[in-house]
Amino acid sequence: MTDTELLNAVKTALNITGTYQDETLNVYIADVKNFMSDSGVSDDLINSSVSVGVIARGVSDLWNYGSAKFSDYFIQRVIQLKYKGGE
């Protein structure tokens, strides 16, 4: 999945239209992907369509909470994906 495809998928999931927030969303997407990688999720999974939902959830958490606190759901999905990668 390309960066553009991921950005568009996250925007669709969060019901965001237009391009005004793209820079902010890309920063949040990168932060979420780094968190997932640091948690042990494989790059193959992070960059596949399997992770779109959890990345959108993480972006939403950062967007809405403001305190950079991830939701329990996001954390649980990251753990599941870590194990799905066979590590």
Q: Residue 87: which of 33, 27, 35, 38 has the closest Cα? A: 38
pLDDT of res. 68: 67
pLDDT score at 4: 95
Query: ∠ CA(25), CA(31), CA(32), 5° rounding?
Result: 90
**More confident of the two residues 85 and 10:** 10
Convert the pLDDT of each residue in 39-73 to its tens digit. Answer: 999 999 999 999 999 999 999 999 886 666 899 99
Residue 87 has pLDDT above 60, yes or no: no
Q: What percent of the chain has pLDDT over 90?
A: 84
The reported pTM is: 0.91
Residue 64: per-residue pLDDT:
82
